[in-house]
Structure 1
Amino acid sequence: MARTPPALLSPADQERRRALSLMKTVALGALVFMAVLFVVAFTLQERYPWLDYVRAAAEGGMVGALADWFAVTALFRHPLGIPIPHTAIIPNRKDEIGRTLGEFVETNFLSEEVVRTKLDSLSIATSVGRWLTDPEPSAQGQTHAQRVISEGATMATGVLNALSDDDVNGIIEDLARTHLIMPEWGPPLGGWLERIVASGAHHGAVDMAAENVAAWLEGNHAAFDGLVSRRLPTWVPSLAHRLVDDTIYNEAVRFVAAVRADPDHPARHAIDAYLERLADGLQHDPATIGRLEDSKIAVFDSPRVRELAAAAWNTAKTGLLTALADPDSGLRTRATAALVDVGGRLRTDAALQRRVDDWVGQGAVFLVSRYRHDIASIITDTVERWDPAETTEKIELMVGRDLQYIRLNGTIVGALAGLAIFTIAHAFLG
């Protein structure tokens, strides 16, 4: 099996490979030691009878070492390259191992009981609140709240930059057409106007209009010069011209003053009657409703209105991008303050803590109950995509060092067992 070049391994895997190589050397050294010991004892046992015990221990040690070497090696590859049945278990049963591991995780780690029990032992709301209100800056020179807003600003900036202005304008136009142009305005607008007139809420608007007209008249006396007199015959004296214009102006001033002073002025009643007729026509007169709809369509289909909508979007987008890019902008400052305020409430408000913890728990349980098979399938799918050699190496790097201890222990236990068996046999059988 080809080994992964060290440069392609993570630092942790490189360290595991060194530890595994060291333990393989130790286990092999123990086997060699037992073999040398056996040769020495076997050669000299007739001269030194006590070496029979050493030979028996060395025999048992070699048998144990070889047996455990075979067992450990059979997990990852064919011993000595010989395709012995039931060897190279991991590469041959990789997919089954992946499925079994996925089922194990799904059953024992992604169950509702396990997740709920773990979340119940944590005070998520309090921890989040304490984290958000921590005033100490992080390694980036920002508090946690500022960091959250900074990352959110980066994401929002990316979204805004990714948006096509034409697409946004199209969406705005579609929304306007669906919610503004297509619905009929007349009846709801007429009902709204009818309620305003019935409640007298329009009287303030009439008063403001009368005040504005009076103010305009006061500052625009010259606008009446020649307003009527220019239509008089040429033989009328110029003094009469001035008198006519002044009379018209003074009557207008007196009329507006009378409207302002008298809440029961006929002009006010005329306005009320007109608004009542207009409200009724907007609700029930097809001709009035049609004129309003024609005017509405003409306004919204105007290229100028579309240009204004596009300009409004571009202005809003530019303003948002500028505010998001500036750490000291009002938008980010207020967002940070709001986030810190939320963190403070999470730390001190017990009722809010319970609600948040309950929401998180319910959400986690819902996700686990609905998607735990999909989550666990990540393990199965990942293992299935692995190359058998790669899978074998990954697993061997994780557990191989401990398995080499089995070889070492097998050598020691085999030596002790061989010595015990020989001693008992020699004692009883001679």
Structure 2
Amino acid sequence: MQVNSEQTSVAADAPPAGPGTAGPPPVGPSTAAGAAVVVGLSAGDAEKAAALRKMKTVALALLVGMAVVFTLAYAFQKEYPWLEYVRAAAEGGMVGALADWFAVTALFKYPMGLKIPHTAIIPRRKDQIGASLSDFVETNFLSEQVVQEKLASIDIARKAGTWLSGPGGAERVAKEGAVLIRGAFTVLNDDDVQAVIEGMVRKHLLTPPWGPPVGRMAERIFADGHHHKLVDLLVDRTADWVDANHAAVNRLVSDRSPLWVPSFVDDLVGDKVYLELAKFVHAVQQDQDHQVRRAIDTYLAELAKDLQHDPVMIERAEGIKAQILGDPEVRELASRTWGTIKNALLGAVEDPDSELTQRFKSAVRDFGSRLVNDDELAGKVNAWIGDAAGYLVTTYRSDIAGVISDTVARWDAEETSQKIELQVGKDLQYIRINGTVVGALAGLVIFTVAHLLFG
């Protein structure tokens, strides 16, 4: 990194020689000797650099002024004795200005190039400074108690609830959520997702035997009588069919009778069979305690038990499962499932007026209103945030604070000094100004006291 000598003369090896030469170290190369062009500064840093140059100029002007006053007062003090007081004040001002210039400069580099002990503190000890700053931040800021107390005072839950329930909050969340979903679908590989779905189907749907869980569920259904409506429906449909198909019953009877039986006999037998069949079906339909119904109940109850305990029935159920969901069917199911979910979500997030988007916005606004109005919910959310932040701080405080020491350690020593001077150099120039003023006053007081005491 090149540093223009004219720009850095104030904080370099010697006190500044005149106004206009002061300035912060550049953050870029110079184009020619004595005419540096500072590049790479942000707008804020450029303002700080200008303010630093101004304050250095003021401090330098005071030093030069004190030197001029001292010279004139010293030259004419014999003719005008009162100038001795002026000379003493100017002399003390110069001493104070030079001493504080030395103190300020010693922070950033060797004054006048002399490697005096305990100078160039920041370049020489930047790693120790970074480590100390890291320890300070870790101890005083990244403590669980400090973070939790700060979060509790903020009441994040209600602030978030006010924003979510207010105008634009839900829309912003929906918009950012849509971006997140689109980004996720862009990153995700369809084949990988389908493989995951297929694996989940096999693990949770195909690997466990179907018989016992189906049997337990059916047993509860049959025990509660929920199947009776289905039985009623089947009986009603059978009765309707019988009522509407007298001729079909007669035809079935005639088709199965011997050829030598006269047709009128077939008709008589067919009518008799139809009447008995209709009578039987209507009896089952009207009598809720009919023996057929009881037989159905008994059969279904036994079927439910067999599905749970009979190895043969369980094996049959497994065979049916294998026929329904073989490898091709599972892959097709996984592909259809992922495709449906993906298309539905992408379509919904692309359309701000879609039902899914509107429902999501409504849910966000409702949650925000609850955070504002429900003290218990807001307390739970604040407690959760505090616990989560406390856990993160307790677990990763050293890693977080370590960013400071690691970053400072990577900086070049000279660059570190320049960065810090740019940030605090303006305020440090007030030390030089104050030193000049205080030194002048001290010099005047000392000379006055000595003159009064010793004549």
Q: What is the TM-score normalised by the length of structure 2? A: 0.82
**1:152–1:263 Cα change, 3 Å:** same
1:92-132 deviations in whole A, cap 9, x for unaligned?
11111111112212222223333343334333333333222
Is the CA contact (8 Å cut-off) linking 2:161 and 2:367 kept in structure 1?
A: yes
Structure 2 counterpart of 1:411, from 418, 423, 436: 436
Give the secondary-structure state (helix, strand or coil) at the position aligned to 2:394: helix
> In structure 1, what is the equivalent of residue 355 of structure 2?
330
Bigger RCO of structures 1 and 2 (CA < 8 A, at least 6 apart): 1
Using the TM superposition, name which of 110-119 and 247-256 deviates more.
247-256
| Structure 1 residue 379 corresponds to structure 2 residue 404 | yes
Give the secondary-structure state (helix, strand or coil) at the position aligned to 1:104: helix
For 2:376 and 2:358, locate their aligned partners in 1 and report how far apart those are by CA, in whole Å: 28
| Structure 1 residue 368 corresponds to structure 2 residue 393 | yes
> In structure 2, what is the equivalent of residue 89 of structure 1?
121
The alpha-carbon deviation at position 319 of structure 1 amounts to 0.9
**1:16–1:224 Cα change, 3 Å:** farther
Q: Please give the residue correspondences for 1:14-413 in structure 2 after superposition, counting only pairs within 5 Å.
A: 14-135=46-167, 143-215=168-240, 255-413=280-438
Q: What's the C-alpha RMSD, in Å, of the aligned pairs?
A: 3.0
> In structure 2, what is the equivalent of residue 139 of structure 1?
none
1:150-201 deviations in whole A, cap 9, x for unaligned?
2122212322332222112111111111111111222232233333333333
Using the TM superposition, name which of 95-104 and 242-251 deviates more.
242-251
**1:267–1:161 Cα change, 3 Å:** farther
1:49-96 deviations in whole A, cap 9, x for unaligned?
333333322222222111111110110112223332221111211111
1:191-224 deviations in whole A, cap 9, x for unaligned?
3333333333322221122234445566788987
The alpha-carbon deviation at position 314 of structure 1 amounts to 0.5
Using the TM superposition, name which of 348-357 and 211-220 deviates more.
211-220
1:7-47 deviations in whole A, cap 9, x for unaligned?
41221111111100110111111111122222323333344
Give the paired residue count: 423
The alpha-carbon deviation at position 257 of structure 1 amounts to 3.5
> In structure 1, what is the equivalent of residue 32 of structure 2?
none
**1:80–1:229 Cα change, 3 Å:** farther
Structure 1, gaps ≥5 residues long: 136-142
The alpha-carbon deviation at position 245 of structure 1 amounts to 8.1
Using the TM superposition, name which of 216-225 and 365-374 deviates more.
216-225
Identity of aligned residues (%): 55
| Structure 1 residue 4 corresponds to structure 2 residue 27 | yes
Q: What is the TM-score normalised by the length of structure 1? A: 0.87
Is the CA contact (8 Å cut-off) linking 1:299 and 1:305 kept in structure 2?
A: no
The alpha-carbon deviation at position 250 of structure 1 amounts to 7.0
Structure 2, gaps ≥5 residues long: 4-25, 29-37
For 2:418 and 2:245, locate their aligned partners in 1 and report how far apart those are by CA, in whole Å: 96
The alpha-carbon deviation at position 225 of structure 1 amounts to 9.6
Is the CA contact (8 Å cut-off) linking 1:74 and 1:87 kept in structure 2?
A: yes
Matched letter for residue 409 of structure 2: E
For 1:270 and 1:177, locate their aligned partners in 2 and report how far apart those are by CA, in whole Å: 37
The alpha-carbon deviation at position 231 of structure 1 amounts to 6.9
Matched letter for residue 192 of structure 2: D
Matched letter for residue 83 of structure 1: K
For 1:224 and 1:307, locate their aligned partners in 2 and report how far apart those are by CA, in whole Å: 45
The alpha-carbon deviation at position 248 of structure 1 amounts to 7.4
